[in-house]
Chain A
Amino acid sequence: MSWFEKLLPARIRTENKKTRRTVPEGLWQKCPVCQAVLYRAELERSLNVCPKCTHHFRISARERLNFFLDPDSQQELNATCQPVDMLKFKDSKKYKDRISQAQKTTKENDALVSVTGTLHGMAVVVCAFEFGFMGGSMGSVVGEKFVRAANHALEKNLPFISFAASGGARMQEALFSLMQMAKTSAVLARLRNKSVPFVSVLTDPTMGGVSASFAMLGDVHIAEPNALIGFAGPRVIEQTVRETLPDGFQRSEFLQQHGAIDFIVDRRELRQRMANLLSILTHQPALIS
């Protein structure tokens, strides 16, 4: 505080002068596909889908859940699960530091948020990946929270929905991460046996260990338009086969053509389509006319 400010009486002093701006940051956003300059509020109204070209922006787990579930219906599950650096993993940076940095920037404890809530009044269990948390990578916490959410759905006999957005298994937890593939897949076998629906929504990107486990084990697979979905990353494939990959390779439309997903849906229509689908699978009266 400068000597001058100290002299001023407290009621005249203005705090946080430095952060005051006339134009808040992020008021405008450019669409990376059609280059249109979009008004942030308008973009949010259209659920972060470009109103000009329908490019689907990546969104955080919380935004996803807020868009998807009925207002004020959410109750978070297992919010206290925290990652552990059991291997004392250190590359160019310590895993411990990567965790705390990711926690700071995303305000999440790890890369998966799980909640119960309602969709057009129907109770459901939903988990959504936070891609901003170390690329949405799956480690022990993600696996455990997924399993607990699935078990919650099983106990309460509620439909279970997952929104995947992940680069794959988390390298910093090494083989523990790989085993989460087995763990998350095994719990889904139980849902199947009890005919509890599991719908997997694949968003940009869904790769590696996440796509090669629960994300591809849905009763129904739904993808957002133009999402990158696959096992091996395009760069790895390019290096292996030594040719440039065709346009649209590993995108939602490609996967639908090859029979891997049931349908592609615009984010703005997802609530309706999902509600319709689930009400049929669970023999409930039509929720939407």
Chain B
Amino acid sequence: MNLNFLEFEQPIAELEAKIEELRYVGDDTEINISDEINRLQAKSRELTASIFNKLSSWQISQLARHPQRPYTLDYVHKMFTHFEELHGDRAFADDPAIVGGVARLQGEPVMVIGQQKGRDTKEKVLRNFGMPRPEGYRKALRLMRLAERFSLPILTFIDTPGAYPGVDAEERGQSEAIARNLLEMSQLKTPIICTVIGEGGSGGALAIGVGDKTNMLQYSTYSVISPEGCASILWKSAEKAADAAEALGITAERLSELGLIETVIAEPLGGAHRDVAKMAQTLSQQLLEDLQGLQKLSTDDLLTQRYQRFMAYGQISEVS
């Protein structure tokens, strides 16, 4: 299997290549080398664990954008049953960069909404690299209102470099579309659980990211600006992206320390793409637990708690 190893994973890649080679040899000879293969595989796991134990913020942001990282629809198909995708904002278009629809999570009816990236070049273009236009956010809002009407809890999956910075998006009111979602989501009378599964890119992520709880997968990121963007503005050089990633504190671990997100969901060894089925299972478990917790609350309590959660964001001091 081609795992598309990242630069910092090169030692693992070399070891895996050796294992592949041995397997190949093992096929033609009668010598039993399975012990050797097992030994090397254990070593590879150990090496992976040691590398993944001390990842930098920049390395994590590369993992969050890994070409094989599972996207929203991968989870939808693995975690949910009876998914019916719903399309269009009823005003202008259907934005393929955001997908949504009704489904069942272990039998429980829910609304699922998430940004969707493309796997191959053609799909990447179709999905606009996961960068939604206003019609995408308006579709999301339409589906959320629909969910509210039929008392379906909303599960959102965040994975976008950001809202699309294009002429057409500006013409159709990108700012207004994002802002409206923030306002409406603050008082939707149904539980909203948001999970960052890959890249949480600024306002474009937040526009489907405000609710009762925020989860982040272990190697996902959430940031006010991309490390590259921040570096080119504040350091005047995009090459300082690694420094910017560190300074911005974009990782799940750091954001949970800062109290900005609630739960970090552990990924399989080597990242979600190494074992999508296992990742989907862990995620599904977490979402079920979250749902059960939130469904105990009355609507009033749910909304009060959500409001207080928003109001608590930020740190200031007051001295005269």
Residue ranges of A at the interface with B (Cβ–Cβ < 8 Å): 80-84, 86-87, 89-92, 139-141, 143-144, 147, 169, 171, 173-183, 185-189, 192-193, 208-209, 211-217, 229-233, 236-237, 240-241, 245-246, 249-250, 258-260
Contact = CB atoms under 8 A, between A and B. Distances in A.
Interface string B134-175: 000000000000000000000000000001111101111111
Interface string B161-197: 0011111011111111011101110110000000000
Given A213-B203, A237-B166, 4 more contacts: A91-B247, A186-B182, A212-B179, A217-B180
8 contacts: A87-B249, A140-B313, A140-B314, A171-B224, A175-B222, A176-B313, A177-B224, A178-B223
B244 interface: yes
B223 to A, nearest CB: 6
B319 interface: yes
Contact of B203 (A82, A178, A193, A217): A178
Interface stretch (B31-39, B229-237, B284-292): B229-237
Contacts of B223: 174-175, 178
Interface of B: 163-167, 169-176, 178-180, 182-184, 186-187, 202-203, 206-207, 210, 222-225, 229-230, 233-236, 243-244, 247-250, 255, 258, 260, 307, 310-311, 313-320
Contact of B316 (A144, A171, A179, A213): A144
Contacts of A232: 163, 165-166, 169-170, 174
A186 B318 contact: no
Contacts of A174: 223-224, 247-250
A143 B224 contact: no
B182 A250 contact: no
A179 B223 CA distance: 10
B318 A80 contact: yes
B214 to A, nearest CB: 10
A84 B319 CA distance: 12
Majority SS at the chain A contact face: helix
Nearest to B248: A174
B245 to A, nearest CB: 11
A196 B235 CA distance: 43
Given A143-B313, A182-B210, A231 B319 contact: no
A212 B174 contact: yes
B311 A250 contact: no
Nearest to A178: B224
Candidate in A183, A231, A246 with the most chain B CB atoms within 10 angstroms: A231
B75 to A, nearest CB: 23
B170 A82 contact: no
A231 B236 contact: no
Given A185-B179, A186-B182, A211-B175, A231 B163 contact: yes
Contact of B167 (A81, A179, A192, A237): A237
A176 B176 contact: no
Contacts of A83: 316-317
Contact of B186 (A180, A182, A229): A182
Nearest to B222: A175
A85 B182 CA distance: 26
B166 A92 contact: no
- 10 pairs of A and B residues whose beta carbons are closest in the complex: A140-B314, A232-B165, A185-B182, A186-B186, A179-B313, A91-B234, A231-B174, A211-B175, A212-B178, A216-B179
Given A147-B311, A176-B260, A249-B170, A181 B316 contact: no
Contacts of B175: 211-212, 215-216, 229-231, 260
A84 B320 contact: no
A237 B165 contact: yes
Given A174-B249, A176-B260, A209 B203 contact: yes
Contact of A178 (B164, B206, B315, B318): B206
A183 B170 CA distance: 23
A186 to B, nearest CB: 4
Contacts of B247: 87, 89-91, 174
A214 B180 CA distance: 9
A255 B307 CA distance: 31
A172 B171 CA distance: 29
A82 B223 CA distance: 23
A143 B183 contact: no
B167 A175 contact: no
A183 B313 contact: yes
A245 B171 CA distance: 12
A231 B310 contact: no
A178 B202 contact: yes
B203 A231 contact: yes
A237 B203 contact: no
Nearest to B244: A91
A86 to B, nearest CB: 5
Contacts of B244: 91
A213 B182 contact: yes
Contacts of B255: 175
B238 to A, nearest CB: 11
B186 A237 contact: no
A175 B260 contact: yes
